Structure 1
Amino acid sequence: MGKISAFYTMPHPPIVIPEVGQGEEKKIKRTSEALEKVAIDIENIKPDTIIIITPHGPLFSDAIALSFENSIKGNLGRFRAPGVSFDMEIDMELTERIIQYSENENIPTADITKNTGARYGVEYGLDHGTMVPLYFINRKYKDYKLVHITYGMLPKIQLYKLGMCIRRAVEESSTNAVFIASGDLSHKLTHDGPYGYSPHGPKFDKEIISLLKEGDALGVFNMDSSTIEGAGECGLRSYYIMFGAMNGYDIKGNLLAYEGTFGVGYAVMGFSLRESSIDMHKLLIEQNQKRTKEKLENPNPYIRLARESLTHYLTYGEYMDIPSYVTEEMKKLKRGVFVSLKKEGQLRGCIGTIFPVTKSISQEIIRNAVEAGLHDPRFMPVEEDELEEIDFSVDVLTEPERALKEELDPKVFGIIVRSRGKTGLLLPDLEGVDTVEEQLSIALQKASISPQENYTIERFKVIRHS
């Protein structure tokens, strides 16, 4: 009987590799030392296979990608270190078993080869989310095969179930395996970092590290979606899968290092496991069902109308009539309305009107909910079986009023700029838009209006229902 002998979270900053960092890696020495410690641990375990979950391989919105040829290569040439190269043997038997068990649980997978990669428009090869951890491991131990998995943008309960399938596949083989969840934490820790600063960044890192140390899967799955989105992380979905592979155990995390020197959070952790009678998967399903029930029974008439409008259209192919629960204000007032859809904290569609094109707020919501779900050109149309996973929000714009520059406040007011038939709009309280100058600059750019042109400014507020 096989087993997963150890679990680790490992970050993947290429700069930690001396050939890439050229001395800069010394600024994250604790991370480097922790990665070396993990490599020594793995050398002592001597696994047959290392299973690694990465964010940076072929990423699909609707499937898990598994590398499925006998070998896979890669190098760090895109980070100016082509000499750092890898040629790894894939554990085909275990990978095939994982695919089989996943598909039996209705978890969609995509086996990636050179041929299928070309068909999908992706490259078959190792990514830096894999190569950075393997760089440290391979200096200590090389006698292993690889299972190379890129997480997909599936519901997190499915990712958890994937982890369970991975462990089952290992246990029903004779493989001694190590599991690595590759991922960085927030990319928005400092103003001078490559992705800028968000207050969600430090908050996310502090919270996720605490939850991982406690082995609190429920806490990780219940993290605030706006915090996750604002943090700009890439490791959380790897952790969902890792927790699934640890289902049935009490978990404690050992933080080996955390650094945010370059504006991105790097956490290295190992875990100790003790058998438990608690079925975390069952608890997560029950919690998800409760959350879905609360979502569907949302008493806010704006949210309810947006959800029911898209649901009705997907079911019957036509716009719904205005229902009885709609308020008099929603029936009588005409306003611009934006309807936003999010799935697992990620935008799934957003369409709005600056000025009303229908006779009332309620009709505007009915129309724009359908537009956001089906006709946002950035996304595939929403399908009926997705609706339970989608959160709706409705922004109602107050009537715009003329304003001077000194009367603006980007946290309170959105703005509309106009010049010779060109119009640009920017909603209020957007992350990264902190000054009036930034707000005006972006709005003018959106409208293709030169700052030297004569233009008018209008301001408005947004009443958000979410």
Structure 2
Amino acid sequence: MNPFVFSCITPHGGEIIPELSGALPERMHLTRSSMQNIGKKMQAANPDVIIVLTPHGTRIDGMFSISHSEKMSGILEEHGATYEMTRDVDRELAAAITEAAQNKGIPAASINFGAAAGPASQLRLDWGVIVPLAFMPHVPIVVINPSRELPFDQHMRFGQVISQSVQKSEKRVALIASCDWSHAHDLDGPYGFHPAAKALDEEVIHYMKNNELEKLADLDPDYIEAAKPDGIWQTIILAGAIPAASRRIQFLSYEVPTYFGLICAEVQ
């Protein structure tokens, strides 16, 4: 069963946001256009809350971390421009996911900052959340960070827990897996060049187009390390949350305008 009103796999390069595109707005034009289309469909789905899976937020070694502050806020800077965002957190859904995961023996913890409640209870938003949400309706969120110390089967099980928690909720919930892909496409990039980057991105595209997201869990760890994607963990959680039999993927776009791969896909 797919309990989500809308789901998607999106990238999070800062330049995708029009206000941060700088002097080269055409550089991520294809991805930006796909994100605008996804945003329109998310708006039409009318969610009450959006769950965002991000690799860049507050990490807890060996545990899934789930936002449980009153609000989250952040600032993203690119090309001398800034983009600010503040969102309320759906603390009820966040707590339900945490409790359900813990009851299943999955290592998960709620996280907060500043105060238990009120204006001082405010976690930081990372770019893995800000970029996709810049195109989405302004509704409360739940932000979840995976843990790379945990095996892929735990990520799949955690996705199932998210799905079960959403099914028990009376809210209209959407899901975003915020994912950039291989980061080793460019010799001059921060991670250098490795031929595994192109090969892994091509495999990911194949699995998406064939609705075989579960096969990402079979990729060799050394191959993953060479290519340096940051999207596998979030995508496997999504695969657990929306089983293949209930899942339909519309692949929208892929490009490598800088040193890392950008993929946009709708998951329904």
The residue aligned with 1:145 is: 140
Name the amino acid aligned to 1:107.
I
Residue 159 of structure 1: how far off its partner (Å): 0.8
Aligned pair 1:69/2:69, yes or no? yes
Query: Is the CA contact 1:201–1:232 (under 8 Å) kept in the aligned structure 2?
Result: yes
Unaligned stretches of 5+ residues in structure 1: 118-122, 273-466
Matches within 5 A, 1:23-422: 23-77=23-77, 80-82=80-82, 84-115=83-114, 124-137=123-136, 141-142=137-138, 144-153=139-148, 154-247=150-243, 249-272=245-268
Residue 196 of structure 1: how far off its partner (Å): 1.6
Name the amino acid aligned to 1:190.
D
CA RMSD of superposed structures (Å) = 2.0
Query: Is the CA contact 2:14–2:78 (under 8 Å) kept in the aligned structure 1?
Result: no
Residue 79 of structure 1: how far off its partner (Å): 6.8
What does the per-residue CA deviation read over 1:121-150, in whole Å, with 9 as the maximum and x for residues that have no partner?
xx931000000001122xxx22x2101111
Residue 106 of structure 1: how far off its partner (Å): 1.1
Query: Is the CA contact 1:203–1:227 (under 8 Å) kept in the aligned structure 2?
Result: no
Query: Is the CA contact 1:15–1:24 (under 8 Å) kept in the aligned structure 2?
Result: no
Alignment TM-score, normalising by the size of structure 1: 0.54
d(CA) in 2 for partners of 1:80 and 1:168? 43
Residue 189 of structure 1: how far off its partner (Å): 1.2
SS of equivalent residue, structure 1 residue 175: coil
d(CA) in 1 for partners of 2:190 and 2:236? 26
Residue 77 of structure 1: how far off its partner (Å): 4.0
SS of equivalent residue, structure 2 residue 59: coil
Query: Is the CA contact 1:75–1:81 (under 8 Å) kept in the aligned structure 2?
Result: no
Residue 191 of structure 1: how far off its partner (Å): 2.2
d(CA) in 2 for partners of 1:218 and 1:41? 25
Residue 115 of structure 1: how far off its partner (Å): 4.1
Relative contact order: is structure 1 or structure 2 higher (C-alpha 8 Å, sep ≥ 6)? 2
Query: Is the CA contact 2:211–2:244 (under 8 Å) kept in the aligned structure 1?
Result: no
Name the amino acid aligned to 2:212.
D
Name the amino acid aligned to 2:144.
I
d(CA) in 2 for partners of 1:173 and 1:61? 29
Give 4+ residue runs of structure 1 displaced > 6 Å after superposition: none
| Identical counterparts, % of pairs | 27
d(CA) in 1 for partners of 2:173 and 2:19? 29
Name the amino acid aligned to 1:199.
P
Unaligned stretches of 5+ residues in structure 2: 117-121
Name the amino acid aligned to 1:73.
S
Residue 250 of structure 1: how far off its partner (Å): 4.6
Residue 80 of structure 1: how far off its partner (Å): 4.1
d(CA) in 2 for partners of 1:252 and 1:233? 23
Residue 25 of structure 1: how far off its partner (Å): 3.3
d(CA) in 1 for partners of 2:200 and 2:45? 32
Name the amino acid aligned to 1:147.
V
Residue 263 of structure 1: how far off its partner (Å): 1.7
Query: Is the CA contact 2:213–2:235 (under 8 Å) kept in the aligned structure 1?
Result: no
| Structure 1 pair 81–110 and aligned structure 2 pair: CA distance change class (3 A) | farther
SS of equivalent residue, structure 1 residue 124: strand
Residue 190 of structure 1: how far off its partner (Å): 2.3
Query: Is the CA contact 1:50–1:179 (under 8 Å) kept in the aligned structure 2?
Result: yes
